[in-house]
Chains A and B, each alone.
Chain A
Amino acid sequence: MNLKSKIFYWYIVFVLTFACLALIPTPDKATLSKYHLSPTGLRLLDLTLIIPEAGIWFAAFYGSQKFHRYSQLIKGGKDGPHIAKLSLGLLLLSFGLPIAATLSGALNIVALHQPGFKSASVIISNYIGIIFPLLAFFWISLGARGLGDMSRTRPRFSIANLVVLSVFTLGVVFCCLIVLNHRTLRTTYGLSPQLVMLTVGLPYMYTWLLGLSAIAELRAYTLKLRGVVYRKGWRLLILGLASIILVDILLQYLVTLTSWLTSLSLNGLLLLLYGLLFLLAGAYIVLALGAQRLMKIEEV
């Protein structure tokens, strides 16, 4: 079985498991009363989230599979090993989406039946949410650095500073939110503020640094690229890749704002979720289009 078929079967398995985990268990009474919904109403609402989520996973699997195919086609070339690292990072990122969601759903169900497991379930879910983007961005930044070394390009001093400043800002605001929300911290993270900062905040900040640095490296690489036709494909690819990294950072950041998110009205919450899902799906589609263009160059 080739990777395309394997990815497709995994996709089906993840969607079905995720849908079962979300729809089969009896809905939480607190959620029903908070949003004034009936159990059927909540399940229908869940379905309106499962469908776009499945759409994103499809876009993510499709985009990363196309990119992987492209990396296979050029594996003998000078840029081959670096593109392979980018491809591995993207596969981790796209597989991380359903794995984190499915495991989190499964742990939630266990916690519903075993109230003592609630904290552990939250902690495990949060760490699963961290580990995949961390590994993915590590490989993506390794690939981006490799391409930069190969073409002897480095991001401009101002861009490098902007990256560091952005990570500092995101990190400081993140720590402030942790301190301000320390009362709800136990429900959001199941850990003390110090532990959250060290074991959640620090890995997140490192992940954001890797992601934003990779964007800066890839931008510098494309600016120096020669070949008018080739550059067009790469620009699309980089646009997709950069958008994926940015939206993923935004998603991770929003997780830190859980207490603010839960205070939103149902309409506001759905609008925000749909907007993010739409952005992420769009980013993966742009990536797939870029990979498809570059693949054509290598196939004809």
Chain B
Amino acid sequence: MNSPSLYDDVVTITYDYLGPAADRFVVRQIRNHLQKDPGDLRPKDLRELIDWIQLAMRLISDDSSAIDRYVADLESLANTQKPGVHGKARY
């Protein structure tokens, strides 16, 4: 059962941008846009999640450089995940 780790990774990255609100933010994006529980997040969902997060961040902040950095961090997490393999492929 490695799926929660992927969710944890997304939250860890988000923490650098949204601090204590990171967990709530990521849970909301997964539940509202992917209609999933955070624990069911799979590597194949990441691209779609990143798109939703990017959209949400543009509504929250006008700091485009921070948003770009955040998205780049999430993209690099997505690149380390092998589709179809659940869990921390990058480790």
Contacts and interface: CB of A to CB of B under 8 A. Distances in A.
B63 A230 contact: no
B16 A232 contact: no
A140 B22 CA distance: 25
Interface stretch (B42-50, B52-60, B71-79): B52-60
A231 interface: yes
A113 interface: no
B19 interface: yes
Given A298-B21, A298-B24, A228 B60 contact: no
Best-surrounded residue of B17, B21, B56, B63 (most CB of chain A within 10 A) = B21
B16 A228 contact: yes
A76 B28 CA distance: 13
| Size band of the interface chain B makes with A | 10 to 19
B15 A228 contact: no
| Size band of the interface chain A makes with B | 20 to 34
A79 B66 contact: no
Contacts of A294: 21
A232 B20 CA distance: 13
Nearest to B69: A228
A220 to B, nearest CB: 15
B60 A225 contact: no
B15 A229 contact: no
B19 A232 contact: no
Contacts of B22: 227, 230
B66 A230 contact: no
Contacts of A297: 18, 21, 25, 60
- In order of increasing CB-CB distance, the 6 nearest A-B pairs are A227-B19, A230-B19, A300-B56, A229-B61, A227-B18, A226-B19
Given A228-B63, A230-B19, A300-B28, 14 more contacts: A77-B20, A77-B24, A225-B19, A226-B16, A227-B15, A227-B16, A228-B16, A230-B21, A232-B61, A232-B63, A297-B18, A297-B60, A300-B56, A300-B59
13 contacts: A74-B21, A225-B20, A227-B18, A227-B20, A227-B22, A228-B66, A229-B66, A230-B21, A232-B63, A234-B19, A297-B18, A300-B25, A300-B59
